[in-house]
Amino acid sequence: MEQFAAINTVILGVSRDSIASHEKFAAKLGLKFPLLSDSNGEVCQLYEVLKEKNMYGKKSMGIERSTFLIDADGVIRQIWRKVKVAGHAEAVLAAARELSEQ
């Protein structure tokens, strides 16, 4: 977190889960950044992260884990879709550092 803060980068998490659910999740994992509740799915639709998923032959709508690097002017500079945890924070940090040097 300190490395992101050092380059003036803010981290936020967003999902359709409730605030209470976010609080439990953040406490369980020791997260040190805000989790925002998009209970009506409006933000999820705007960022096109609601996708049809197929699990064991059952189709449902769910969130595609995604990361958006947004500059100080509100412009999306980079998007990562179908995010896997391993190495992801490092990749985002590298891109944010590059952006901060521009």
Q: Where are the alpha helices (DSSP H) in 7-100?
A: 19-29, 42-46, 88-100
Number of compact structural domains in the chain: 1
Cα 31 to Cα 1, 18, 23, 38, 41: the distances in Å are 10, 16, 10, 18, 22
51/25 Cα distance (integer angstroms): 22
pTM: 0.84
Domain interval for residue 54: 2-100
Q: What is the pLDDT of residues 54-82, one digit of tens each?
A: 889 999 988 999 999 999 899 999 999 99
pLDDT at 28 over 90: yes
**CATH number assigned to the domain comprising residue 63:** 3.40.30.10
